[in-house]
Amino acid sequence: MINNLLLSGGPTHDFAATSQELAGLLAQRDTGSPWITTTIEHEPRAFFAQLRDGTSGKCAPWDLVTVNALRWRMEAQRYEAQRAEWRYVVDPLDIALLDTYVRGGGGLLALHTAVICFDADPLWHELTGATWNWDRSLHPEVGWVRVSCLPASAEHPITAGVGPFDVHDEVYGFLDESDGLVALLTGTHGGRDHPLLWARAVGDGRVVTDLLGHGVESLTHATHRAILRRAAAWATGDR
């Protein structure tokens, strides 16, 4: 059995629904056999405390860590009404803990708004491979998105055999991307293609960043569900 620790929660998205849907689709293989058990934490401090307990031996170790959340400083004026509930300033020691966990062999799945979390902390940026830039990053309204496959997708276990597909979601674009980022899936807006999914080895660990997943309708899409199952298997080495 694979243990997954999932951080959920934040404004403007139905994270309760998407996190439950994600936990459900990872719970069983297509064969129906038990696979991944997910523990959902809604508060970042509790999430990092659980991660610390798993790495220190106070509880069973975590094979996979998932971030399906939107927690950041919320410094722009337009977020003033939401700050009391959702503002979060990450502790550098917590991000360092997550970095150590991954580089030591842990798996990380960063879903959709994860690239906005933690205010583009340098260690978080190194893990995810791209982060939101408030001066230029943007996305169109939620709607039908054409997801395209790049040549590298045919060779990767997560996307092998996957063809272009349409999903009700949103395309994040104009992020700050790490050098040499190799996209497996892309979407188009603003006159260019943008990476939507990539997978990278970070130290001895593996990270999958999937920018899709705005709502339940994306996570119930058959192709996206298959991709997420494969992503979890790849990130954990199917331990």
- pLDDT, tens only, 84-138: 999 999 999 999 999 999 999 999 999 999 999 999 999 999 999 999 999 999 9
% of the chain at pLDDT higher than 70: 97
pLDDT confidence of residue 29: 72
Show me where the domains of the chain are located.
2-236
Nearest to 185 by CA among 137, 142, 218, 233: 218
Residue 4, pLDDT > 60, answer: yes
- Write out pLDDT tens, residues 162-202: 999 999 999 999 999 999 999 999 999 999 999 999 999 99
Distance CA 85, CA 219 (A): 26
Cα dihedral value 196, 202, 206, 209, nearest 10: -20
pLDDT of residue 31: 60
The pTM assigned to this predicted structure is: 0.96
Q: What top-level class would CATH report for the domain 2-236?
A: alpha beta
Residues 13 and 35: their CA atoms lie apart, in Å, by: 27
Q: What are the strands, taking DSSP E only, across the chain?
A: 2-9, 36-41, 64-69, 107-111, 130-131, 143-149, 165-169, 176-177, 183-189, 192-202, 205-210
Residue 173, beta-bridge partner list: 138
CA–CA separation, 91 vs 43, rounded Å? Answer: 13
Mean of the per-residue pLDDT values for the chain? 96
Confidence category of residue 239, pLDDT binned at 50, 70, 90: very low
